[in-house]
Copies of this chain bind each other. A is one copy, B any other.
């Protein structure tokens, strides 16, 4: 069934009001009629089966029939902090990361990021990533759309990390040593509702200075298996490993 993500302002105890682009989708693309059913997702992560009561060009009013039990959200909240990669790789990170359950993306300007975003480019890119996240959430049958934050500097990212329970960074030198910090000591310890930030470098990896800053801020470096992953593959590995541990093994 088609699902729509409705902001908090659209909900009351009995009704949901769908507005914006979704109105066109309900009425013109899906050609729905009164008494048809849709799924509406509340920003708190819950979804409700709803019946359409009334449609105008500006809003679709629905009655909540029942709240659904099923929840396909990852139990822990994983933030992917991605050093700006080349080309359209950030789109891949957002799309695949959303399918795999990420709760937030924070792009950051790493020392070795070749791409620089000015203000105008940045706003356009963020709108595009947010759209990709929304479409991937619908496709993956998620109840929440992950947030894509604006581009940070590493210092701002580190400041933000203070609110997190787990702070990790994917350091490719860990994949090359025999005495590595394994995910074994970390991932099985992550509890439901905890917040995890994983910082991933751009194509050229982290500079020594960045590694020092991350370590000083109590980030733990981890390897993601023994192979060297491309920057846009690292987030898929960590999200799949956390999903496997928290949603399949547990």
Contact = CB atoms under 8 A, between A and B. Distances in A.
Contacts of A178: 70
One complex includes copies of this chain to the number of: 2
Contact of A226 (B72, B223, B224, B230): B72
B225 A244 contact: yes
B233 A99 contact: yes
A82 interface: no
A225 B139 contact: no
22 contacts: A72-B175, A96-B233, A96-B236, A99-B228, A99-B229, A99-B230, A100-B225, A100-B227, A140-B228, A141-B175, A141-B227, A182-B248, A187-B244, A223-B248, A225-B244, A225-B248, A236-B240, A237-B243, A240-B244, A241-B243, A241-B244, A244-B245
Given A72-B227, A226-B72, A100 B247 contact: no
Interface residues of A, number: 38
A248 B139 CA distance: 30
A142 interface: yes
A31 interface: no
A15 to B, nearest CB: 27
Contact of A227 (B99, B176, B183, B249): B99
A101 interface: yes
Given A100-B227, A140-B229, 17 more contacts: A96-B236, A99-B228, A141-B175, A141-B176, A184-B248, A187-B244, A188-B249, A223-B248, A224-B240, A225-B247, A233-B236, A236-B237, A237-B243, A237-B244, A240-B241, A241-B241, A241-B248
In the complex, the 9 A-B pairs of residues with the closest C-beta atoms, listed nearest first: A240-B240, A241-B244, A140-B227, A225-B243, A72-B226, A237-B240, A183-B248, A236-B236, A72-B227
Nearest to A96: B233
Query: Most B CB atoms within 10 A — which of A140, A183, A248?
Result: A248
Contacts of A243: 224-225, 237, 241
